[in-house]
Structures are given as C-alpha cells and as structure tokens.
Amino acid sequence: MVDEVIYAARPTLIIATADKFAGLPWKPEIGHLFNHFSAEPPPELIIQDELHLISGPLGTLAGLYETAVDLIGCRPKVVASTATIRRAVHQGRALFDRQVEQFPPPGLDARDSYFSVETAPSRKASRLYVGLMAPATSQASLMVRTYAALLHHAQAIEGDDAVRDAYWTLLGYFNSLRVLGGAKLQVQDDVNDRLDLLSEGLPQKRRDIGRDIELTSREPSSAIPGHLQDMATPLPDALGVILATNMISVGVDVDRLGLMVMMGQPQSTSEYIQATSRVGRKWPGLVVTLFNAARSRDRSHYENFTAYHSALYRQVEATSVTPFSARARDRGLHAVVVGLARLLIPMARPKEAAALIAEFEEDLRNHCDEILARVERVAGQTERDMAAKQIDEIIARWREAAEADPELKYGTYRQPGLLVDAGRWDESDDQLAYSFETLWSLRDVDVESTLYLDRGTR
C-alpha cells in the first residue's frame, strides 16, 4: 500500500521498518500514525525485533528521529528482542530514552531462562564448528576442495533420503559480493571437476550438484520469495548449493538446512552467530569456516578456535548508538526541529508556512527545550550545550531564509525549499544557500558519489 492510505486509515497494527520516519519534516501526515491530529488513542506498544541491528549509522539517526516521535504523542512501551547484544542498557537509553529492564530476569538456575531450557545434544539439534586453514595453498583451492568433499559425502553417507536431505544443500556464506562472484564460477567449473576426481578415486557414485542459487542484494526482490521456497524443497528436488551474503543472517528460517561453509571470519561475532544459526535448527548442523592464512585476523581466530567457540556469546561486540554526537546533529538535528514544528504547531504545518518562522519561533523554542532535556539525559551536559548552540544556528538560518524569500516553502522531493534532498544538494547552487540537506530515508545515511570517465585528449 502507498503511504497516504496508511496515514488516512490509521490501522491498529502496523508492521514496518523505521525508514519512513526520516520523512517527518517532509510529510507531517506521518503524525497520523500516532493519531496526533485525532481524538483516537495513540499507539501504546512498539515491538522492536532484532534490536542489535539498530546500531551504527542507522541506530544513531534512528535515535535522533525517535526524539521527534516521542514528543508528538504519549510515550508507548517498547518491547525489544535480540539474541546477540552487549551494553543493551546503554543502547536502550540512547535509542529510546528509556530504562532497560531484562525479561525474564536472571533466575536461580542458568539452565532454565523461561524462554529456553538447556537440553542434551542427543535430544535437541546442535551445531558442530570446524575450522580449516591451508597455509601452503590458495583460499580458492581450499574452497574448491572443501565444497567438493562435503557435497560428495552428503550423497555417500549411509541412510535414506530423509537423512541425506539435511546435508544435501550446501549453504555458502561470503563477506563480500566480489568473493562470492568468483566462487560462483568455481562452483560451476572447478568443484564439478573435483567431484569427478573424487568419484573415480574412492570409487563411488558421482554427485551431481544440480541447481545453485544466489541470495544477495544483486537478486531482484521479486525473486527472493521463490528462492526461499526452493531452499525449503527437500530431496529429490533440493538445491545443491546456495551462495549468500549477510542477507541470510536475519529472517531466513529453513529447518532442513544443516550444512554451511563460511568463507573467512565475518567482521563481527554477532554476525557470525546470526549467520551460522541458519543451519542446525531441526537436525544436527555442521559449520565449516575457511580461514585465510594471509590474514592475521583469520590466523588469530584459527589459533583460538576452541576457546572462541566455547564462549561464543561472550565475544559479542558492544553496539554503537550516538544520536547526539556532532556528526549526527549535523546530519539530522535540523530535521527533528522542522518536523516538530510541523507536527506540534498548527500554524507551521502547511507547506507554505516555512516563511512564517517569526510568528511561531517562540513556540518552537519551547519544544526545542524538550529536545535539549533529552540530549542531557542521553549524552550529558556538554552535548546539551553544543546541541543548544546548534539549534540556535538552525533557527537563525531558517529566519534568514524566510527574510530572503517571503514565499519560502518547506519543499518537496522535486522542488527544494527550506529542505532539499541530501542526495541532490549542491553547495554551488545560489538558490539553495539557506536550504538544509535532509534525508528521505534512514537507508541513505551516506551520500553517493558519481564518477565520470573523461575520455578527452590531453
């Protein structure tokens, strides 16, 4: 559905991402989601899944825009879930300005956490981690030999198709699209040649890889549902190889998968845990990590493989959310100020009202005091003083723009005004001298650079 229908209907349940809240200064209609312009009760509960993903640049800007969301309605209860997080209390304060309470709280028995109960591997599927490193050969050769051996023996193991099915499909994880692209060619060529060699030397029936698919951002979104359905298809029509990036880390819940090969150690432990948990959900899983001997980080992980995996969750890195740091304020504080003006001050709501800043400036400053109170709670007095100075500069610049253009408008995506799309902003354009470069989506935190190839002669 398009946004306007949702704002008009104001459904009682919305399943969405946080991206659209970047549109608060552009579209005050978003305030309808919180029933700010009606007598109906505002939302009472926010369920935030995968809290650890709301970190880094995304979490920083999400925490900044949450300032506006919190001020336009009654503060709802936030229930967040995550499997891999550290310093959750700090993240909850920075992101939602709320005290974090753990549920269930630590009990008397570490083996029973209310959600899960410790059980023996003989009763519940588990995962076996294997680390491989070959200093005398290339990473590509190690990958080809590992893929071929696992694929071949998945067919050679004793048992019927129900046993083989859990290990028939090999899920390959890659840290970059560049490495995945090279591996795709090797699966179709070198791995097939290696399977010929294994079947002749053992001797055993040759394994046919069958179909292989790619689960990456290069695939069109329309193809993803079909890929997920193919991944769940058992023998005899099961996939042979799935090549994927971190797209599989969240939301891919296919019980039949039991075999994974990690090409190199992922950058973070939380990513490693999330990715490897895609296998071994119903049947015992096998995770093989291929370490690159030329990289000191991979060598360190290989040398400490047993100790690292015996306390895997202890290695999870702390998440970073700094919504009121200097660069975050540069990127989005003006959007919060403009958004609050349009959402909380009726006079400032129409698109032509940007020129009336002098008439509602006093009301706007009162709302900005609430922003500063939150900055102090989250980041301390020093950041509050810096934010107060920056808000003064934002309002002064807005007032100058209104004085220079008595018909000043807030602007739209195609017609810049007080706001201009951050991806289209050009400081050399005199018409945009007073405009604030503003995001349309939290997915586009960084501006893209365009490269032009000049074939002119010297």
Q: What angle do CA 261, 266, 271 make, to 5 degrees?
A: 95
260 and 287 in contact (C-beta within 8 Å)?
yes
pLDDT of 427 over the 60 cut = no
pLDDT band at residue 426 under the 50/70/90 scheme:
low
Confidence of residue 324 (pLDDT cuts 50, 70, 90): very high
Read off φ and ψ for residue 55, nearest 5 degrees.
Answer: -145, 180
pLDDT of residue 345: 92
CA gap 319, 54 in Å, rounded = 9
Distance in angstroms (rounded) separating the CA atoms of residues 403 and 382: 32
Beta-ladder partners of 259: 170, 286
What is the model's pLDDT at position 135?
92
The lowest-confidence range among 18-22, 294-298, 321-325 is 18-22
Average pLDDT of the residues in 254-281: 92
Lowest mean pLDDT among 334-338, 415-419, 441-445: 441-445
Q: How far apart are CA 414 and CA 420, in angstroms?
A: 9
Q: 418 is written with which tokens?
A: 């007080």
**Tokens for 131?**
């680390």
Residue 384 pLDDT > 80: yes
* Backbone φ, ψ for residue 132 (5° rounding): -125, 135
Q: How much helix, strand and coil, in percent to the nearest 5, is found in the chain?
A: 45, 10, 40
Does position 424 have pLDDT exceeding 90, yes or no? no
Cis peptide before 104 (omega within 30 of 0): yes
Question: Is pLDDT of 104 > 90?
Answer: no
CA angle 252, 258, 262 (to 5 degrees): 75
d(CA 262, CA 24): 41
Residue with token string 């001997």:
293
Q: Domain residue spans in the chain? A: 3-100+321-438, 127-315
Omega before 57 within 30 of 0, i.e. cis? no
pLDDT digits (tens, 9 = 90+) for 388-400: 999 999 999 999 9
How remote is the C-alpha of 9 from its chain's centroid? 28
Please state the rounded mean pLDDT for residues 259-283: 92
Structure tokens at 409: 């408008």
User: What pLDDT, on the 0 to 100 scale, is given for residue 362?
Assistant: 94
Q: What was the pLDDT predicted at 272? A: 94
Chosen CATH of 127-315 out of 3.30.565.10, 1.10.1370.30, 3.40.50.720, 3.40.50.300: 3.40.50.300
* Residue whose pair of structure tokens reads 């995506």 in the numeric block: 413
What's the DSSP call for residue 172?
A: E
Q: Give the residue-averaged pLDDT of 130-138.
A: 93
Q: State pLDDT tens for residues 23-33.
A: 889 988 888 88
Residue 367's pLDDT is 93
**pLDDT for 25:** 92
Query: What pLDDT, on a 0 to 100 scale, did the predictor assign at position 302?
Result: 96
pLDDT band, very low/low/confident/very high, at 457 (cuts 50, 70, 90): low
User: Phi/psi class of residue 35: alpha, beta or left (left: φ > 0; alpha: ψ in -120 to 50)?
Assistant: left
